[in-house]
Structure 1
Amino acid sequence: MSLVPILTSDQFSSADQPAVAQGVKAYGEVLNTWGAIGNSPGLLATYLPFLGRLNGPGALDGRLKDLVAVRVAVLNHCRYTASHRCTSAMAKGVEVDELAAVATGALAGFTEQEQLALRLAEEMTVALPAVPADKGLTGVSASVRDDVQRVFDAAQLTELVMCISMWNALSRFHRVMAFELDMPAPPAPVDAQL
């Protein structure tokens, strides 16, 4: 059961109604995360456009964004986020065996750019919270920082770090809220890692 009530479309504030209409047009229903966010009037009106911009066309390929989001979801043990991001990734042509590899951290079959993005996602999700600033200002290893700076340009790096950060925040939000799935369950090999 969700931590907060899940609003229906008619229960959202007037400030959120345009975002609700846009979301329902795209997905056919109010997703549980939106229904929870609606408990804070006006927040959905900011959240949905921002998330749409971050996940939409940009400096990074959509496939890479979804691979990173799936890795973050698995590392945070969030089935709801994994469900959404696996559904999105498979719609972009990512195969179940690739998602399984992301879930287990078996990165050898991915491009250098994908491997580095996934390594950065892991360090930002697992290592960063455990490294005090006096032990490492950025919380990630110098080798990963150097490698991602070599492979990604400034626009790509900004988008990548924001994407990883956003999926860390959202997967933690989703997990604590304890939402029921509103998209297909993650593929079995991903689900097994959650």
Structure 2
Amino acid sequence: MLSTALQGRVRMLERDEVEGEIAALYDKLYEERGVVPNMFKTVAQTPALALGFAAFLKPLMSDGELAAWYKELVATRVASLNHCEYCISSHRFLARLRGASEQQVAAVDSYEDGPFTEKEKAGLRYADKLHRSAHAIEDVDYAEVKKYFSDKELIELTAVAAAFEFFPRFVSALKVPVTPLPPETAS
């Protein structure tokens, strides 16, 4: 078992400590990522919430109107704005796993000069504004992002940016330790 310092504020549950739907969730996460994220090991203390997080994140972060890799970069950007090392590590890993280039992952904090299309930059600027406040998005900002994003894309972009205001607060408040990356991807 991990020491309390490595556990965070709430004890994380390992695979042999969970059953039923939570065990199936752990197995699915491990199959997809090669690791069970510490956030899920923490929230597993409240199974209905763990299942709810998973049910929410699956359609939110999968390919949809926007590519999953781009959503992961938006999540990485918002995590960076929130100074959440846990989330930055997780979403950089997932961005790579879902198809973002190393250059895109490395440039997410300096995206204006990075290897992004004008559309991708507009979406990241929008996420930056939303981070400041939902009220910070003025009509001029909306008009700018609408040049590039359909209504369906804008809904996904807004949902991703808003969701990753919540998750950094959750893991940071509980001091959830950064999930170690699978050995083959840890570099």
Q: 1:20 maps to what in 2?
A: 26
Q: 1:163 aligns with which of 146, 160, 164?
A: 160
More helix by share: 2
Given that 1:121 and 1:164 are in contact with CA atoms closer than 8 Å, whether structure 2 keeps it comes out as: yes
TM-score (norm 1): 0.79
Given that 2:82 and 2:168 are in contact with CA atoms closer than 8 Å, whether structure 1 keeps it comes out as: yes
Q: 1:78 aligns with which of 63, 84, 94?
A: 84
Q: 1:141-161: per-residue Cα shift (whole Å, max 9, x none)?
A: 322211122321111111111
Q: 1:145-186: per-residue Cα shift (whole Å, max 9, x none)?
A: 11122321111111111111111211222222222222449x
* Identical-pair percentage: 26
Quote how far apart the aligned CAs of 1:6 are: 0.5
TM-score (norm 2): 0.82
What secondary structure does 2:11 align onto? Answer: coil
Quote how far apart the aligned CAs of 1:93 are: 4.1
C-alpha change, 1:37 and 1:116, in structure 2 (3 Å) is: same
Q: 2:137 maps to what in 1?
A: 140
Q: 1:180 aligns with which of 152, 157, 177?
A: 177
Q: Count matched residues.
A: 176
C-alpha change, 1:119 and 1:39, in structure 2 (3 Å) is: same
Gaps of 5+ in 2: 183-187
Work out the CA distance in 2 between the residues paired with 1:154 and 1:73. Answer: 24
2:67 is aligned with what amino acid? D
Q: 2:65 maps to what in 1?
A: 59
Gaps of 5+ in 1: 130-137, 186-194
Given that 1:63 and 1:89 are in contact with CA atoms closer than 8 Å, whether structure 2 keeps it comes out as: yes
Question: What CA RMSD, in Å, does the superposition of the two structures yield over aligned residues?
Answer: 2.3
Work out the CA distance in 1 between the residues paired with 2:27 and 2:98. Answer: 24
